[in-house]
Amino acid sequence: MGLESDHYDSVASVAQYALFILQDEFGDAVHVLDPNKFELPVGSTKVTTEVAGVGPFSVLLVSSPLALGVTPSAEVFEFVARQGGRPGLASMIVVDAEEPGLINVFVVHHIYGNCLDRSELLTSVANVAGQADDADEKFVARFGGQRYSDAIAG
């Protein structure tokens, strides 16, 4: 039996459903960046929910910046790599920053569009936001870079 998708799995339909859930829960705090990408400010960070196609399926990436503009080091990469064993839905990833030679660290969680429900999305948003908002000050103090709120303020 092969995996098949239907209209519910389409990026557009999953994005509409995700936006409905987020706006129903958070109202005008949700900012629509484009039809498939939404942001929600949370404490010293933000949560972005983005829907993308992966083959015939849609996947939601729920992400929150933990630290921006971090100087890469073996210690940073080891710290991020070792977070996979911690309890929780989210994990950390490292991506190149716009400024050459620096990296950004995010807390992320993926959800498959074909099984998206209200509880799963809201739990993912809360978990990602909570982990990033709770850990960003300690991470920046230890490894450098800036919290999201400091980066946009300054």
List, as one string, the DSSP characters of 139-152. Answer: HHHHH--B-HHHHH
What residues have CB less than 8 Å from 75, skipping those under 6 apart? 143
The amino acid at 58? S
What residues have CB less than 8 Å from 127, skipping those under 6 apart? 88, 89, 90, 109
pTM beyond cutoff 0.75: yes
Residue with tokens 């039809």: 35
Instruction: Please tell me the distance from the alpha carbon of residue 35 to that of residue 73, in angstroms, as a whole number.
Output: 36
What residues have CB less than 8 Å from 128, skipping those under 6 apart? 47, 62, 63, 64, 89, 90, 107, 108, 109
- How does pLDDT run along the chain (154 residues), one tens digit per residue? 344 444 457 899 999 999 999 999 999 999 999 999 999 999 999 999 999 998 888 999 999 999 999 999 999 999 999 886 666 667 899 999 999 999 999 999 999 998 899 999 999 999 999 999 989 999 999 999 999 998 888 7
Instruction: Please tell me the distance from the alpha carbon of residue 75 to that of residue 105, in angstroms, as a whole number.
Output: 13
Instruction: Please tell me the distance from the alpha carbon of residue 33 to that of residue 48, in angstroms, as a whole number.
Output: 9
DSSP 3-state assignment of 43? coil
